């Protein structure tokens, strides 16, 4: 799917794909080779309209593929509330798998707000992406003031980790018992997080296994979160709860995370569900 015939999306419609990684679902728009503006075709209004599961398509995040002079492609992420997302691990794996399938290669490079990243297809068919080094300094995450990021001054003693987006990780006895709709929005909008935050709840199942659930900034409850899995694995190791390589059981399935010297590698399956075209009338309605 490259160079789709939609150089004027409002007149010809706009092609897209639907993909998911462990039920963490995405609309993917490919702007490569179409002569669109450097920022791509997605706007906050289009993201909000597309993210509506009743009147649009519905997604946890939207990913737009763009041309890059320094990598195989560039990738931008949007939330359903129209805000930008700095990182999205499962969408990165999905799009990387798509580009690898189109080019017949087993490895790609891409650029996001995190910089230059690398993704590979393993021999077992799973897709791995290097999400970059974690951010653990309060200003880098970022937080609104200087605090101990390994023990935030919040009820529940969470950990703050940045993975290109902000994460607040709570370690609890039973992640499955957490009332995410009640507590997720509270922490997402806490004043300590100037850009809001993703919120993870994890329980330790063993020295190399965690059970994790997530409330995503701008999206709410999702079945899986790749950057959240990376942040949780980093937080667990920093707290001395696990090693650097762990399996995380999420509501949608299992991700593998390996914190190496060159970055945090995250591995899991991907699925391409269907292709579609947004109608000119729909696009005109969200201008």
Residue 7 reports pLDDT greater than 90:
no
Q: Over the stretch 191-237, which tens digit does the pLDDT of each residue have?
A: 999 999 999 999 999 999 999 999 999 999 999 999 999 999 999 99
> Domain-by-domain residue ranges, the chain?
9-131+270-285, 159-261
Residue 1 reports pLDDT greater than 90:
no
pLDDT score of 2: 47
- Per-residue confidence band for 37, with pLDDT thresholds at 50, 70 and 90: low
Residue 226 and residue 126 in contact, taking contact as beta carbons nearer than 8 Å: no
Same fold for the domain at 9-131+270-285 and the one at 159-261?
A: yes
pLDDT score of 4: 37
- Per-residue confidence band for 42, with pLDDT thresholds at 50, 70 and 90: very high
In the chain, % of residues over pLDDT 70: 95
- DSSP β-bridge partners for residue 110: 73, 117
- Which is catalytic among the residues 94, 168, 225, 230? 225
> How far is 75 from 92, CA to CA, in rounded Å?
8
pLDDT score of 31: 94
> How far is 286 from 163, CA to CA, in rounded Å?
31
Average pLDDT, the chain: 94
Q: Over the stretch 231-276, which tens digit does the pLDDT of each residue have?
A: 999 999 999 999 999 999 999 999 999 999 999 999 999 999 999 9
What length does the chain have?
Answer: 287
pTM value? 0.92
Domain 159-261 has CATH 3.10.310.10: yes
- The answer to whether 88 is a known catalytic residue is yes
* Mean per-residue pLDDT, 147-157: 98
Task: List all residues 6 or more positions away from 224 whose beta carbon is below 8 Å from its beta carbon.
Answer: 21, 22, 23, 24, 90, 214, 250, 251, 252, 253, 255, 268
> How far is 144 from 135, CA to CA, in rounded Å?
15
Specify the CATH number of the domain 9-131+270-285: 3.10.310.10
pLDDT score of 9: 52
Higher-confidence residue of 199 and 40: namely 199
pLDDT score of 45: 96
> How far is 228 from 216, CA to CA, in rounded Å?
8
- Per-residue confidence band for 33, with pLDDT thresholds at 50, 70 and 90: confident
Dihedral class, residue 103 (left if φ above 0, else alpha if ψ from -120 to 50, else beta): alpha
pLDDT score of 3: 38
Q: Over the stretch 96-111, which tens digit does the pLDDT of each residue have?
A: 999 999 999 999 999 9
């Amino acid at each position: 799917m490259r160079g789709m015939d939609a150089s004027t999306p409002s007149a010809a419609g706009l092609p897209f794909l639907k993909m998911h990684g462990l039920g963490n679902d995405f609309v993917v728009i490919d702007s490569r080779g179409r002569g669109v503006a450097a920022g791509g075709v997605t706007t906050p209004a289009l993201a909000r309209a597309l993210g509506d599961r009743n009147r649009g398509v519905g997604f946890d995040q939207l990913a737009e593929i763009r041309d890059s002079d320094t990598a195989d492609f560039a990738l931008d992420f949007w939330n359903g509330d129209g805000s930008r997302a700095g990182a999205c691990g499962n969408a990165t794996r999905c799009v990387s798998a798509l580009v690898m399938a189109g080019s017949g290669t087993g490895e790609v490079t891409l650029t996001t707000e995190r910089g230059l990243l690398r993704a590979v297809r393993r021999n077992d068919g799973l897709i791995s992406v290097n999400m970059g080094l974690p951010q653990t300094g309060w200003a880098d995450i970022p937080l609104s003031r200087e605090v101990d990021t390994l023990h935030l001054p919040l009820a529940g003693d969470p950990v703050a980790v940045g993975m290109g987006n902000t994460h607040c990780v709570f370690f609890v006895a039973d992640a499955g018992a957490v009332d995410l709709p009640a507590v997720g929005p509270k922490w997402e909008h806490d004043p300590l997080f100037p850009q809001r935050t993703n919120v993870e709840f994890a329980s330790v199942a063993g020295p190399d296994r965690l059970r994790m659930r997530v409330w995503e900034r701008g999206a709410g409850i999702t079945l899986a979160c790749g950057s959240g899995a990376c942040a949780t694995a980093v937080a667990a190791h920093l707290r001395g709860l696990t090693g650097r390589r762990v399996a995380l059981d999420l509501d949608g399935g299992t991700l593998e995370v390996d914190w190496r010297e060159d970055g945090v590698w995250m591995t899991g399956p991907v699925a391409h569900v269907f292709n579609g075209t947004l109608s000119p009338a729909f696009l005109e309605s969200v201008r």
